[in-house]
Structure 1
Amino acid sequence: MKNKTNVGLWDIKKIYKNPMSMVLIGLVLLCVGITFYFNNQTSKVISFESTIAKEIKNYKLGIAVLEKEIRSGSFSDQQKAMRRNDIKLSQKLLKRDLSIQKYLASKKWSQAYALRLKTIDMDKKLNQNETTDPTRKPLENAIERERLRFLALKKRNVQKYNEDFSANGTGFFLWTWQNIIPVLLTLVSVYIAVNLFGESYRSRINVSLLIPQLELVINMWHIGITWIVSSVLLLMTSLLTLSTGTIVNGFG
């Protein structure tokens, strides 16, 4: 048992004393920091709150343009009537989006999603009327997916976040495991294995002569220590991603 412990300690010391190990840890931290920064910035740009703010701006601009066209006197009475109807619809949607924005600011997610569902239902009805449009079916499917997504969010009463660029605690944690952890696991494992096996050969040391064990057992210890150290490092990375996202944007 003592000899086995000596092999494990020998492996750990080799990893610890190698200055490249600190460089590896620094690269992992840098990778997490950079990905979180870009995820956080991207999620803000394409967030539901940002979408509502852009719609409000567009509605206000559109209403101003329509009112200017009506005052210009260069349109017929029928065209002016159509623009007045467009203004009424835009004002209705603007009022709804302003209410959604207010609910989002107050973290009243369920109320905000209920209003959003009304807009989605309106889009669904308008799309169903476009019977001759060849793109109607794909658009109808997209609207239905959006409706189901907001229905689920309304029932759960949770904040909507983008799954592709998650920046809250649980979201960034899961995103990291899907996109970064597999690559890091491979790189870290290869680095540590090369460090352990290569050190002996570079120094022309036959470990099996120094410690009375079969070389196969020693190699198995190398592999075991490689996975243990890799797992510890990746566990620390996971805790870092979870805590960073939670501190900045909440748990989830």
Structure 2
Amino acid sequence: MTLTRVLVIEDDPIIGEMLTLYLTEENFDVQRVETARDGKHALDTFKPDILLLDLMLPDASGTELCAEFRHLTAVPIIVISMKPSVTVRIQAISYGADDFLVKPFSMQELKVRMEAVLRRTMNLIPGGVKAPASLPQHDSHHAPPSSSGGLTLDLERRTIVLDGEHIETTFSEYEIMKLFYQHPNRVFSREELINAVRGIDSFINDRAIDVHVTNLRRKLEKNPKEPQFIKTVWGVGYKFMNP
């Protein structure tokens, strides 16, 4: 039975020890580090399945940490922070975090949120154990991407393929894009898009949806100000068109 690997980047010794003990007792394989530098190193050596990230570390701080770690890994990121500001939550999610917990928080709630994120992204099965142990390794036998015109989805890698190039996204961006892709030309309200990713973005709202769409346009469109794929339907929401 393979345990889910959790990387905890937390410099507070009390909180860090509590997280380590609790998650270990809940059958997770846990490694804790205290700095952003050690966390980046552990991505390669420990190869975690999920990352718990404090935003205030000795060698780095702020929501930009989410962007740094999202650039380095595709695994889910849950931010744990003393800052309750809605602005900070939205910024963290916009920069790549998949969920946000404000300290102090319930350990049971943390576990439930971890499992919710992993269920949506890595096929978690009950008890904190999943298969396979890490993101799939891809070779000539992996399933072909779902195809439609110039833009496709690679369902295994959870990436968007544009003109043969894999475009990395956050998990929430991918969920929104998958919904668009499965229903071309259908207009989705912001509320429908919120419901599509609820459980990944715990604090998602209309503004967060607009940020995710803006980020998708930057990644996919030749001219984000004149989008060809994701169109705004004023007063309603958005729709996807695949030229």
Q: TM > 0.5 between the two?
A: no
Tell me the TM-score normalised to structure 2 length.
0.22
More strand by share: 2
Rg bigger for which structure?
A: 1
Of structures 1 and 2, the one with the larger relative CO (CA 8 A, separation 6+) is 1
More helix by share: 1
